[in-house]
Amino acid sequence: FANRCLIKDFERRPSVTHLLDHPFIKRVRGKVFFLQNQLAKVLQDQKRLNPVTKTRHERMHTRRPYHVEDAEKYCLEDDLVNLEVLDEDTIIHQLQKRYADLLIYTYVGDILIALNPFQNLSIYSPQFSRLYHGVKRASNPPHIFASADAAYQCMVTLSKDQCIVISGESGSGKTESAHLIVQHLTFLGKANNQTLREKILQVNSLVEAFGNACTAINDNSSRFGKYLEMMFTPTGVVMGARISEYLLEKSRVIKQAAGEKNFHIFYYIYAGLHHQKKLSDFRLPEEKPPRYIADETGKVMHDITSKESYRRQFEAIQHCFRIIGFTNKEVHSVYRILAGILNIGNIEFAAISSQHQTDKSEVPNAEALQNAASVLCISPEELQEALTSHCVVTRGETIIRANTVDRAADVRDAMSKALYGRLFSWIVNRINTLLQPDKNICSAEDGMNVGILDIFGFENFQRNSFEQLCINIANEQIQYYFNQHVFALEQMEYQNEGIDAIPVEYEDNRPLLDMFLQKPLGLLALLDEESRFPQATDQTLVDKFEDNLRCKYFWRPKGVELCFGIQHYAGKVLYDASGVLEKNRDTLPADVVVVLRTSENKLLQQLFSIPLTKTGNLAQTRARITVASRSLPPHFSAGKAKVDTLEVIRHPEETTNMKRQTVASYFRYSLMDLLSKMVVGQPHFVRCIKPNDDREALQFSRERVLAQLRSTGILETVSIRRQGYSHRILFEEFVKRYYYLAFRAHQTPLASKESCVAILEKCRLDHWVLGKTKVFLKYYHVEQLNLLLREVIGRVVVLQAYTKGWLGARRYKRVREKREKGAIAIQSAWRGYDARRKFKKISNRRSESAAHNQAGDASNQSSGTHSPVAAGTRGSAKVQDCSEPGDHKVFRGSVDHRSHSQAESNNGHAQTSSNSRAVTEKNGHSQARSSPKGCDIFAGHANKHSISGTDLLSSRICHPAPNHQGLSLWGAPQKPGKKN
């Protein structure tokens, strides 16, 4: 068997499953810790027997990231599907043992169960991110990084959007799980821009400071729904992000339940401004806390001023603003609006009576009103008028009516909620603008998304109001989405494809959702209908529910007038109907909108000029406002100021879409929008479990965990993942995706059963089933196929790299040879040109020398010199004086005759050329021999250098010598005193 493991042909080599079936491996199962101790003992004995003088100490890096202290940990199953006995007690036992060993993650097939450890674990460092990067899931223990990696690999491999749904009760760790998923996805999709990665990592912290708060069961509870979409290029590089926010719990701004707090940002900013000694700049008191953040204990100001955590959080928020890209002026405007909200909460009203009216209200303490108006940059008189009165248009006439004290307080609180809600939406929209993909890299349409849903968990408090009702309805919708993907769609595929599978029974919450959402007799529809009646009360609302909601999921407890109960998937919840109608109406008077639009704060103007969407959020800024918002709040130019003035003149209903929309209608559209985003991608589920209600580390409550497992359908999920087929792929898509594994690259196999069988058998997969049109695979099959496909593609990439290298080298060689030939041609042409140029220079120099010598002979003849050389020179000078062509010919003839006679007298030792302009080397030698007393310049050099006619002529001039025979140097007989 060991020899077979060394076979080079990997197809003939035994697989890992064969190795695990080996008798030796089977015998050591469960004895890992014992064998480790034995091995350590053997090593120590060897060290004692063979001591080493110099030891090199190194750390041993293992693939398993968790520190192991006992052998039992290895015996626990990482995947509940592999359990032999499948019941509640076995599953609870496995989860409890794993939790005691800080193994908080467990698989249920391709679904991850995450138990909140309520402590910091050192298993989220970059080293762990590298461990869970593109490896087989079984290579490492279960981890949140593995789920993020699975979604990322599916996105890159399948070129399809992905969706990670994180669900669970409040306090089960959903927000932290979303943080970790974003962290790992940012690591996997490493962008070329380091700043972009930092921005994406800071988004969650910034949004959660404005959207999270401390509740009775969770110190950092999400009070809004968040769907974060990370956008990637087709090659898997992160290029941007986008946030969608739903159903912010605005009512928390004005009032919190006992033991709860307002949104985090109010405490952070108060502590930061107190530390910077800037509270007075924002008109905030230093002693008594504002009413919106005060609590019954009276320790708020002490905590704000003494706790370092608040101040550090404020500095962290400032860092987030700076990293993401907010300008200092934008951040300052945000702080002013937050301070304005706190000052508005301090405005109080008192009733005054007059002769004709007794329910009029006024502001007895003008200081709070002045502070709020100053911070918001509006007129205090106009603010007071908007709070204490309202306009009514009747038959074309405008009537101003006074508000009662309660009505004025409601308007004040509605103003605060609207300010905070619109500010939160503006921050989200601004983040989306700053994190949108760069069009130069890749357009958003060409890329792919991984969506991460972090929504408020199921809540059941001692007093549950309208907010808890909306939150729990949203969780019902998420549970229905989970049931559809895990149970309903899978079993429907079995029936359609003729697959023999045992149906799994599960709790379907569709009837409960219909009770909430259907029209016209659903709970939300009845709530909207009752909200339209001015005379309706909370009592009439509950009566209407009881009369129309006749089903097993709704009941009305006896003895409690304003309460009703709902049987949710996670248990029974009793709701208090007090104030539900007013919360659902959520009306903001138009007078308040008009006043806020007159603010000198450009950001505040913008918040109440942009319309609201159907989900109740601030719409994305229009083009002309977007340009201005990038530099808010600097003053607009004259043209833009005119546009804003026109918008202020408009009636608020035209620009804010205030068509009596209710919170229930916003909620309905929010669910529709959220589901439309989720259904596009392939889902991955993370089920967060809260091990205890006391938030204590290492404390495991079997009853609480079992209740959550039952409500989330984990037991049924284990069954269907064990016997079911979670992946169902069409033949055509399967062959197109995996044909590389069994066919050659140039082949085009048919999308048939035979091709699918060939691929599956080639990959040595088992327990798969073929339907009529689809391949049915277990949850682990796709991971195996993707790993094999990645390996094959890696080999193809290597071959392509070598081929491209060889082609590149050959192309380079051709180019180099062509360049060398071109260089040779250029060099040859240059040398020819250079030689011709030099020859031309030499020729010109010779001509100039000849002309100069002839001019000298002419001057000697004119002065009466009778030397032969002078006569010869004069003869040559006559050439320069000839003005007729015939004279040139006579002169040339005489010179040729003389040269020929001289050559014959010297026994033919010299020859003359027919051209007398240049005297050859032989002429020079012959004349030198015939003149023994001639010029010494010819001695010893006649055989080495050729002397041109011009040089010879000049040498004769320098060394004149008469001939013994009375002949001139030119060879013609000369008579003394005779002139030529």
List binding-site positions for ATP: 168-175
DSSP 8-class letter at 938? G
Find the DSSP H helices in 398-533. Answer: 405-434, 466-483, 489-497, 510-517, 523-531
Asked if residues 409 and 389 have their Cβ atoms less than 8 Å apart, the reply is no
Cα separation, 978 vs 980, whole angstroms:
7
Cα separation, 297 vs 280, whole angstroms:
25
Q: In angstroms, what is the C-alpha Rg of the chain? A: 50
Burial 81-92 (b: 16+ CB within 10 A, else e): beeeeeeeeebb
Asked if residues 601 and 609 have their Cβ atoms less than 8 Å apart, the reply is no
Nearest Cα to 231, choosing from 260, 199, 261? 199
Asked if residues 61 and 69 have their Cβ atoms less than 8 Å apart, the reply is no
What is 401-418 written as a DSSP string? Answer: EEPPHHHHHHHHHHHHHH
Asked if residues 404 and 359 have their Cβ atoms less than 8 Å apart, the reply is yes
| Maximal CA-CA distance, the chain | 168
- 134 conformational bin, left if phi > 0, alpha if psi -120 to 50, beta if neither: left
Cα separation, 167 vs 145, whole angstroms:
17
Cα separation, 613 vs 606, whole angstroms:
15
The binding site comprises 168-175
3-state secondary structure string across 360-384: EEECCCHHHHHHHHHHHCCCHHHHH
Cα separation, 579 vs 412, whole angstroms:
16
Contacts of 239 (CB under 8 A, 6+ apart): 191, 196, 231, 232, 233, 437, 438, 441, 442, 447
At which residue do the structure tokens 């079997």 appear? 702
3-state secondary structure string across 34-77: HHHHHHHHHHHHHHHHCCCCCCCCCCCCCCCCCCCCCCHHHHCC
Nearest Cα to 240, choosing from 455, 442, 454, 453? 442
Cα separation, 166 vs 184, whole angstroms:
15
Burial 693-712 (b: 16+ CB within 10 A, else e): eeeeeeebeeeebbebbbbb
Give φ, ψ of 48 to 5 degrees: -70, -40
Asked if residues 383 and 595 have their Cβ atoms less than 8 Å apart, the reply is yes
Cα separation, 381 vs 872, whole angstroms:
127
At which residue do the structure tokens 């804010």 appear? 656
Cα separation, 874 vs 872, whole angstroms:
5
Asked if residues 709 and 758 have their Cβ atoms less than 8 Å apart, the reply is no
Give φ, ψ of 745 to 5 degrees: -65, -35
Cβ atoms < 10 Å from Cβ of 791: 11
Cα separation, 600 vs 603, whole angstroms:
9
Asked if residues 689 and 91 have their Cβ atoms less than 8 Å apart, the reply is no
